[in-house]
């Protein structure tokens, strides 16, 4: 999952920069996604160390949840309004926030799946050890 975390971080970093440039460099809040991306990249690199992986990936999953909830609160409703044909303030922000929310939601889902698989593997290993010894 470390590599997936790095990929998500790179995507969010690029998304933030693209959003900032697309607004004519007028809205620095577009760079929030870049900030999240940098943190995800750092967590992904740290997760490649076996002794840190478990804790770092739990932190990354929590950050992913925040990265989903915060932009989804404003971005997704505004995107739905745009699709319905209504005008919204800052339409670029609605699209970028929705993309960030979607990427983070997928990431959290992948983290949950990975946590479940790790727990199953650990239980199977423990069961095999108890039968062997």
More confident residue, 115 or 24: 115
- Confidence at residue 78, expressed as pLDDT on a 0 to 100 scale: 93
Determine how many CB atoms are found less than 10 A away from the CB of residue 28.
10
Query: How many domains are contained in the chain?
Result: 1
The percent of residues in the chain predicted with pLDDT above 90, rounded, is 80
- C-alpha span between 73 and 112 (Å, rounded): 22
- Confidence at residue 133, expressed as pLDDT on a 0 to 100 scale: 64
Statement: residue 58 has pLDDT above 70: yes
Banded pLDDT at 128 (limits 50, 70, 90) = confident
The mean pLDDT of 103-129, rounded to a whole number, is: 93
Closest of 24, 27, 2 to residue 107, by C-alpha? 2
For residues 59-90, b (16+ Cβ closer than 10 Å) or e, as one string? ebbebbeebbebbbebbbebbeeeeeeeeeeb
85 is in which domain, residue-wise?
A: 2-132
- C-alpha span between 26 and 110 (Å, rounded): 34
Structure pTM? 0.89
The mean pLDDT of 32-61, rounded to a whole number, is: 96
- C-alpha span between 79 and 32 (Å, rounded): 18
Statement: residue 39 has pLDDT above 70: yes
- Confidence at residue 26, expressed as pLDDT on a 0 to 100 scale: 85
- Confidence at residue 130, expressed as pLDDT on a 0 to 100 scale: 83
């Amino acid at each position: 999952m470390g590599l997936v975390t790095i990929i998500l971080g790179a995507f969010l970093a690029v998304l933030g920069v693209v959003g900032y440039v697309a607004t004519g460099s007028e809205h620095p809040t577009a760079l929030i996604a870049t900030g999240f991306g940098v943190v995800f990249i750092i967590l992904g690199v740290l997760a490649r160390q076996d002794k840190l992986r478990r804790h770092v990936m739990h932190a990354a999953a929590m950050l992913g949840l925040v990265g989903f909830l915060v932009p989804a609160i404003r971005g997704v409703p505004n995107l739905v309004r745009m699709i319905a044909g209504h005008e919204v303030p800052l339409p670029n922000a609605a699209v970028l926030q929705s993309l960030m929310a979607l990427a983070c939601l997928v990431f959290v889902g992948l983290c949950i799946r990975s946590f479940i698989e790790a727990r199953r593997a650990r239980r199977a290993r423990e069961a095999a050890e108890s039968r062997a010894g």
